[in-house]
Amino acid sequence: MSYPIDRRAVLAGATLGGMTLASASAGAQAQARSAAATPEIYELRTYHLVNGPMRARLDTYLRGAFIPAARRAGCGPIGVFTVSIGPASPSVLVLIPHPTLADFAALPARLAADQQHVQAGAPFLDATPTAPGYASLDVKLMRAFPHMPRIEVPAGGAARLFELRTYFSPSDKTGATKIEMFDTGGETEIFRRTGLTPVFFAQDLTGERLPSLTYMLTFPDLATRERNWRTFGSDPAWKRLIATPGLTDPEITTGIDNIILGPTPYSQI
């Protein structure tokens, strides 16, 4: 989806239907507390760049103008990443948590009214066709899962690698089933136990191949990532879950996109 976008139209048209949630025995009290919170809305921006001064110009704007202003507007923490392994390089991905869809829609006006943002961001905001800030910009909207309604920032700032994965499903029904597997069916618990540490899980509200879901994991390095994915794949509980009729990959997924990201020095995630 190209930017700028009609945020009010997205606000009116985004599908926010509920999903049937099975009860989970493990961590029931913690899940109940999480479910009571309103799930965040995630805006994922992908700035497509060309080699040259674009990257420095964008970094200066994000670090010195956009992130401080977006935090003042109630967004965050805000993650900024570059593609280490995957398509769309060079590019910069910006993950912006919004409290609600209304806050997503209101952000441009809040930024325009923030004089600190306008002044600090002037070199980027006033870019000309001969010196653009970026080549193009894609935006995806997501809604956090009910039982993981907030971004989980890696503890201690030790994470140096992030994995962004999107699962596509053949229908709304199978898409909801895959969400339930994560949200209340035990898959997230298996992830955590086997070292697949989540940053967020979300239902995609916009995209080219809906229905789909997207999640982000974090690891200290590639070797740990590979080892922990092997541990997950051989986990007995996972093997039982994925073999359950109605929950197998051929029944509820049609494909997976996957990219490896590195955080910028000023990323808040």
CATH number of the domain located at residue range(s) 41-263 in this protein: 3.30.70.100
Element (H, E) at 70: helix 67-72
Q: How many CA atoms lie within 13 A of 261 on its CB side?
A: 27
pLDDT at 35: 47
What pLDDT score does 140 carry?
98
Compute the Cα dihedral for 109, 111, 116, 118 and give only its sign: negative
Domain ranges of the chain: 41-263
Q: How much of the chain, in percent, has pLDDT values that exceed 70?
A: 86
* Mean pLDDT on 171-179: 97
Please indicate whether residue 43 or residue 5 has the higher confidence score (pLDDT).
43
Strands (E), 28-73: 41-48
Q: Is the pLDDT of residue 6 over 70?
A: no
pLDDT, tens only, 73-95? 999 999 999 999 998 789 999 99
Predicted confidence band of residue 123 (pLDDT cuts 50, 70, 90): very high
- What's residue 188's pLDDT? 97
C-alpha 125/C-alpha 106 separation (Å) is 18
pLDDT tens string 211-226: 999 999 999 999 999 9
Angle among Cα 249, 96, 206 to the nearest 5 degrees reads 45
| pLDDT reading at 269 higher than 50 | yes
Backbone angles phi, psi at 9, to 5 degrees: -65, -40
State both tokens at 30. Answer: 């913690």
Q: What is the chain's mean pLDDT, rounded?
A: 89
User: Does the pLDDT value for residue 40 go beyond 60?
Assistant: yes
